[in-house]
Structure 1
Amino acid sequence: MAATKAAAFLGSQQCLPAKTGIAVPLSKGQLIRVINTHGKQVVDTWAFDSQDPTSHLSMEHTRASLLKISIGIGDTLVTNSRTPILTLVADTSPGVHDSLIAACDSHRYAQLGVKEYHVNCVDNLHEALKALGTSIRSVPSPLNLFMNVPVAGDGSLSFAEPVCEAGQSCTLRAETDLILVMSACPQDVTPVNGGACADIHFTVT
Structure 2
Amino acid sequence: MAGLDATNIVYAYDIPAERPWSRVIKKGQMLRIIDSEGQQAVDALLYNADDSAERYSAQDTLREQGSAYIVLGTQLISNAGRVMARITADTCGRHDTSAGCCSCESNAVRFGEQTRYQHACRENFILELCKHGLTKRDIVSNLNFFMEVPIEPSGDFTVLDGLSAPGNHVDITMEMDVLFVISNCPQINNPCNGFNPTPIRVEVHEA
Regarding TM over 0.5, the answer is yes
- What is the CA distance between 1:114 and its match in structure 2? 4.1
Q: Is the 8 A contact 1:54 1:136 kept in 2?
A: no
* Partner SS, residue 119 of structure 1: coil
Partner Cα distance (1:35, 1:164) in 2: 10
- What is the CA distance between 1:136 and its match in structure 2? 5.3
- What per-residue deviation string (whole Å, max 9, x for no partner) do you get for residues 86-129 of structure 1? 10000111x12101111111111111214351111111112112
Q: Aligned runs of 1:139-158 on 2, under 5 Å? A: 139-158=139-158
- What per-residue deviation string (whole Å, max 9, x for no partner) do you get for residues 10-56 of structure 1? 62431111111111111111110000000000000110011221210
2:112 corresponds to 1:113: yes
Partner Cα distance (2:151, 2:55) in 1: 26
2:39 corresponds to 1:40: yes
Residue in structure 2 matched with residue 200 of structure 1 by the alignment: 200
Return the letter of the residue paired with 1:185: C
Partner Cα distance (2:155, 2:131) in 1: 40
Query: What value does the CA root-mean-square deviation take over the aligned residues?
Result: 1.5
Partner Cα distance (2:154, 2:176) in 1: 38
* Partner SS, residue 62 of structure 1: helix
Q: Is the 8 A contact 1:42 1:162 kept in 2?
A: yes
Q: Percentage identity across aligned positions?
A: 28
Q: Is the 8 A contact 2:68 2:151 kept in 1?
A: no
* Partner SS, residue 88 of structure 1: strand
Residue in structure 1 matched with residue 94 of structure 2 by the alignment: 96
Unaligned residue ranges in structure 1 (runs of 5+): 1-9
Count, aligned residues: 195
Partner Cα distance (1:132, 1:138) in 2: 11
Q: Is the 8 A contact 1:39 1:167 kept in 2?
A: yes
What TM-score, normalized by structure 1, do the two folds share? 0.90
* Partner SS, residue 53 of structure 1: coil
Using the TM superposition, name which of 176-185 and 108-117 deviates more: 108-117
* Partner SS, residue 127 of structure 1: helix
What TM-score, normalized by structure 2, do the two folds share? 0.89
Return the letter of the residue paired with 1:130: C
